[in-house]
Amino acid sequence: MPAQGVAPARPERRAFIRAPPALNEAPDPKHRQTRIMARILITSAIPYINGIKHLGNLVGSQLPADLYARYARARGHEVMFLCATDEHGTPAELAAAKTGKPVEVYCAEMHQVQADLARGFRLSFDHFGRSSSPQNHRLTQYFAGRLAENGYIQEVTEKQVYSRADNRFLPDRYIEGTCPNCGYDKARGDQCENCTKQLDPTDLINPRSAISGSTDLEVRETKHLYLRQSLMRDELEAWIDSKTDWPVLTTSIAKKWLNDGDGLQDRGITRDLHWGIPVKKGDQDWPGMEGKVFYVWFDAPIEYIAAAAEWAEANGKSEADWRRWWRTDEGAADVRYVQFMGKDNVPFHTLSFPATIMGSRDPWKLVDYIKSFNYLNYDGGQFSTSQGRGVFMDQALAILPADYWRWWLLSHAPESSDSEFTWENFQQAVNKDLADVLGNFVSRVTKFCRSKFGEEVPAGGAWGEREQAVIEELGTRLTAYQAHMEAIEIRKAATELRAIWVAGNEYLQAAAPWAVYKDDPAAAAAIVRFALNLVPFYATLSAPFIPDASATMLEAMKMANADWPTDVTAALERLASGHAFAVPENLFRKISDEERAQWQADFAGQR
């Protein structure tokens, strides 16, 4: 579990910046072609409420979703980007109990902490909701009722551990004991965190309640509701098979769960807990289910829909305004729905949640594309919340601004395999990519212009073959960059973006206006004018990755915004001679070897 606590006080940061509206046109550097604006619904896996997330959590869902949302907005698409906190279930109750606070108070506080951290990382959600919202209560109960009406719910009597001292049934995670496999004395009733062996509560040696520590436990019968996923197996398989463009990671996990062992199993959707959405059949009581709540993995994905309803209420919109994103009979037929998540969440999003929607037999929008991620490891091992090993979101923002982290995480996103964060690699990426390549280019051209021509774009001279060659290269790379962004190939997109930055640096170094100026000030002016125009060009293309630096570049160039370039030549003529600018402070500072060594020691464990 991610560590608990509240983010430390940090210097005030600007509100997160969204990419400006873009021209509705294609990227060809030589031609302009009309593009049809799309409607894109984006959700990222909702983070659990019980603490602050580490960087591995961030890069596995929310951050790449934000990258895609910013890019889609910049291209002129209509975007709805939703996320929320996942607030129900066993860990929330246990975490609240440890703080001595009522669970609803704890969840409200931690929701605010996570919302603040999302703003700190410039995550541009249209709405950041809560799975405990009234909207999610109503929708979860509605879906359960529809599933029951259509024969997809079965009542099952099963045996479960009961604590006399706590006067309640104990879910598997509420039971602790000694692992029979490795001897770890804090193994949970579902899995040993130490050796990862899957367990049943009855496997534990000396089992005890995780709430009170009592060993006065017994096995009793209880009744629960099961979602009959097995009845929809063929329908789910046909739907998954139709998604030929899904990443291999997503499809392979979905099919493994679909076909593993005895095939797709029915799943329990209720629990004997106090905190959660009460079990109802629509707005009617459910006989025999009194005092029970829906399982967190049943209600959590429904919060994607509920978050849109929350957005409407928070922004004075109508019910029709949010339903046009989710109901195919009310306007969502032309919506492209894209989900982002870590690979451990794939089974629920490819099987259980689609089964819930399909089983309702109502025209709700199913996901079109699922971008899943492998794991980000930490410096030779794994992130560990319990050991405080690794960098958590609040800690990251306390030592460096968001753009530093955004660039490294996205350019090293664990797409095709697990990736690893090391401080040496982080230092190298910041110092070389951000400081030496992009930051150095902006600093050199603006400072040189100020020293020779003042703080305005100089007149004189004309472009030649060198500039035309750069335009051709940028046009080719822009097309490739956009293709990777459209395909959500994040690391490849980052590689192209860096190459675009490098092209400007290499141009400036080869053109050498500081040398040309001595004999031909007009020719030097043309070089500087061309290079200065690269600054807003870079700002626009870089905004999805590093929004704050992008805003700083545009501000320095005294531009309120810059449309997405559809014609490279035109884009590099936007700043005419006489246009005023300011020399920005260094966009990025370098990380020293001493800092790197200190941070490596600080985050080795014991948060």
Concatenated DSSP letters for 48-74?
Answer: BSSS--BHHHHHTTHHHHHHHHHHHHH
Element (H, E) at 206: strand 205-209
Q: What are phi and psi of 589, to 5 degrees?
A: -95, 155
Q: What is the pLDDT of residue 33?
A: 37
Q: What is the pLDDT of residue 387?
A: 73
Query: Mean per-residue pLDDT for 55-62?
Result: 97
User: Would you say 120 and 63 are in contact if contact means Cβ atoms under 8 Å apart?
Assistant: no
Q: Are residues 369 and 452 in the same domain?
A: no
Residue 36 has pLDDT above 80, yes or no: no
Residue 486 has pLDDT above 80, yes or no: yes
Residue 518 CA to residue 438 CA, distance in Å, equals 26
Maximum distance among all Cα pairs of the chain, rounded to whole angstroms? 93
Residue 400 has pLDDT above 80, yes or no: yes
Q: Terminus-to-terminus CA distance in the chain, angstroms?
A: 13
Domain count, the chain: 2
Q: Are residues 563 and 437 in the same domain?
A: yes
Q: Are residues 334 and 432 in the same domain?
A: no
Residue with tokens 């799309």: 38
Q: What Rg, from alpha-carbon coordinates, does the chain have?
A: 27
Q: Is 65 left (phi over 0), alpha (psi -120 to 50) or beta?
A: alpha
Question: Where in the sequence is the domain holding 506, given as residue range(s)?
Answer: 423-571
Q: How confident is the model at residue 198 (pLDDT cuts 50, 70, 90)?
A: confident
pTM of the predicted model as reported, rounded to 2 decimal places: 0.91
Annotated binding site: 179, 182, 192, 195, 385
Q: Which residues pair with 191 in a beta bridge?
A: 198
Residue with tokens 């291209």: 75
Report the CATH number at residue 525: 1.10.730.10
User: Would you say 187 and 201 are in contact if contact means Cβ atoms under 8 Å apart?
Assistant: no
Query: Mean per-residue pLDDT for 299-328?
Result: 99
Q: What is the pLDDT of residue 171?
A: 83
| Average pLDDT in the chain | 92
Residue 24 has pLDDT above 50, yes or no: no
Where is mean pLDDT largest: 28-37, 91-100, 112-121?
112-121
Residue with tokens 């106090």: 274
User: Would you say 543 and 565 are in contact if contact means Cβ atoms under 8 Å apart?
Assistant: no
Annotated binding site for ATP: 385
Residue-wise pLDDT tens digits, 410-468: 999 999 999 999 999 999 999 999 999 999 999 999 999 999 999 999 999 999 999 99
Q: Are residues 559 and 432 in the same domain?
A: yes
Q: What is the pLDDT of residue 174?
A: 87
Report the CATH number at residue 104: 3.40.50.620
Annotated binding site for Zn(2+): 179, 182, 192, 195
Q: What is the pLDDT of residue 386?
A: 67
Q: What is the pLDDT of residue 35?
A: 57
Q: Are residues 445 and 537 in the same domain?
A: yes
Q: How confident is the model at residue 40 (pLDDT cuts 50, 70, 90)?
A: very high
Residue 71 CA to residue 545 CA, distance in Å, equals 9
User: Would you say 118 and 260 are in contact if contact means Cβ atoms under 8 Å apart?
Assistant: no
C-alpha angle 294-297-303 in degrees, rounded to nearest 5: 85
Query: Mean per-residue pLDDT for 49-56?
Result: 94
